[in-house]
Amino acid sequence: MPSLARLLGLAALAVSASAIIPPGHQGALNQTVNVSENDTPTTDNESIVNTIGQVNQKSGAATHSTPPSAPVPPTTVTALDSSLTNTTLTDVASNSTAPSSRRRRSRPAKRFADDDLLPAKRQQSSYTQVFSGLAPGVHDASIEGTAYLTYTVVPNSTYNVDACLDWCDTVEDCVFVNLYYEFNDYLLDFVFSQQSNLVCAAYSDIHNATEKINFGGQTSYPQVGNETVPLTYITQSSGWAADSLTEPEDPDGYTLVFGPTGGANNAPGYMGFAFLSFYDVDGCAALCNGRGADPVGGGCSYFNIWRAVVDGTPTTYTCSMYYLVANETTAVNYGQGDLVVTYSRGYSRNNLVIDGGFEGYNACDDFCLTESYANWIGSSPSGGDYDASIIHFQDYAHFGQSSALLGAAFGDDADAGTLTPAQKLKTVAGQTYVVQVFFSSSFSSEELEGPAKVDILWNGKRVGGTSGFVASYTFTQSDTVVGTGSDVLSFVGGAAPAWTFVDDVKVFEV
């Protein structure tokens, strides 16, 4: 038999609960939960521009330390949120399935124009000369530029342009080559088996003659007695760019929203940025996947990748991340001063949940609710009433105008409700996913919300959830789950007056 103290406590709770106007009757929240998109952080262009002024991603063929036809290096992160670094994608995106090297995929070829040049693999071996080398015998310089891939040497009996271009066709992402003679290089002359000094350096970006800044001048031959050691020097440095390029394929789990354009996003929901050593949409997606969740906005849902050209030369490749999905209407940052934005593309992360923000329910201008609509189904146990419902009321929503509620909307019972998408999730069998959602169990007092509990179920198995008083909206992520090709997601819980609001449900591939 319950003690007198226990009975008095229960009576006090009942009295407190009876004084609450339930959500179904548009009762007042214990605390504000709605977040306006206008109040979220927008792109920090100042920090991006300042960091661009500090980073140096230029490089070229290092014949003194690397043999010809060395493997192309993986994409690295050269800056992260204003801090310069030189870190692999895997280390930065530690929570994701970041590739150890770039995945190179492409769409059908298209011709390029100066304002629509795409750093990706071409389909046809046709090239245009971008700049010529100086006359034979005149000291010249090789390119030091961004997105350097690797180099080879070609037969030097003639100035062998065709052999260099043919080799570029075999190198993933090669869209530009710099062909030049390098003299007095001991390794080229005597050590490397090709014994040719006609160097062909490959890049995945287009460069111009202003970037010819490596004039040689190093000692390479061994010192013999007091003999003068000759210095390396370069002649006949020319540049060739592919005429036909292709667009990068959408990263796994993402869809192209816009681009390429000359404007970067200046959008709400900004989570930070990284600079990449290559224009690598897969690498940017990996960073977005692995970005830690924002306490207000949740996981990364969108990224904008673009190339910065400063004083006419490519400088770095920016990956900006957002928890709100942007579009081309906010791609209004065209650059500042000598900095020009190019190759700007936006990609949204594919949410397998249709209408995860419940915004599809808008049957009124101010306040209304329903047990189910086209995109979501709420159900109650036998004898229950509105134990799972969808409410159109901005004050209750996280973002936007609508949210879902678990627990009797009118306070008629203390049963748990079940909320599930109207359609099974179209997953890929064997692929892993994660459920992200915002919960709020703070409609009633902290004491009344103490018993609040919601389970996240994946095909009937609990994979996460929330319990107890949850102030405002709090981000929750499930355990990783495996798709079957047709999966059922559901949320089960709520027990009035321990109500729990649910909003911004997302299921992402990881």
* pLDDT tens readout for residues 187-246: 999 999 999 999 999 999 999 999 999 999 998 888 887 888 899 999 999 999 998 767
Cβ distance 263 to 251 under 8 Å?
Answer: no
Nearest to 152 by CA among 140, 167, 174, 141: 167
- The dihedral of CA 171, 176, 178, 179: what is its sign? positive
Strands (E) in 355-499, as ranges, are 368-370, 376-379, 388-392, 402-406, 417-421, 432-441, 453-458, 461-467, 470-477, 481-482, 489-493
> What percent of the chain has a predicted confidence (pLDDT) above 70?
89
Residue 259 pLDDT greater than 80, yes or no = yes
> Assign residue 433 a region: left if phi > 0, alpha if psi is -120 to 50, beta otherwise?
beta
pLDDT for position 108: 35
User: Which CATH superfamily is 4-30+354-509 part of?
Assistant: Galactose-binding domain-like (2.60.120.260)
Residues 6+ apart with CB under 8 A from 153: 68, 188, 192, 194, 196, 197, 198, 199, 200
User: For the residues 362-373, what does the mean pLDDT come to?
Assistant: 96
Instruction: Give the predicted TM-score (pTM) of the model.
Output: 0.89
Mean per-residue pLDDT over the chain, rounded: 89
In this predicted structure, the answer to whether residue 25 has a pLDDT above a threshold of 90 is yes
Contact 197, 153 (CB under 8 A): yes
- Residue 446's pLDDT band, with cuts at 50, 70 and 90, is very high
Residue 123 or residue 379, greater confidence: 379
Tokens for 123, please give them. 């389909």
| Residue located via tokens 């300042």 | 50
Q: Is the backbone peptide bond immediately before 497 cis, with ω within 30 degrees of 0?
A: yes
Break the chain into its structural domains and give their ranges: 4-30+354-509, 41-58+249-349, 106-245
Q: Indicate the pLDDT class of residue 103, thresholds 50, 70 and 90.
A: very low
Which is higher by pLDDT, 331 or 19? 331
- Predicted confidence (pLDDT) at residue 5 exceeds the cutoff of 60: no
Q: What pLDDT is recorded for position 17?
A: 53
Question: What angle (nearest 5°) sits at the alpha carbon of residue 397, between those of residues 393 and 401?
Answer: 50
- In the chain, what is the straight-line distance between the N-terminal and C-terminal CA atoms, in Å? 51
Percentage of the chain modeled with pLDDT above 90:
79
Confidence of residue 125 (pLDDT cuts 50, 70, 90): low
Q: What is the mean pLDDT of residues 22-29?
A: 93
How much is the pLDDT for 225?
Answer: 79
> What is the pLDDT averaged over residues 10-24?
63
The residue with greater pLDDT, 38 or 434, is 434
Give me the mean pLDDT over the 86-99 stretch: 68
Candidates 258, 148, 136; CA nearest to 200 is 148
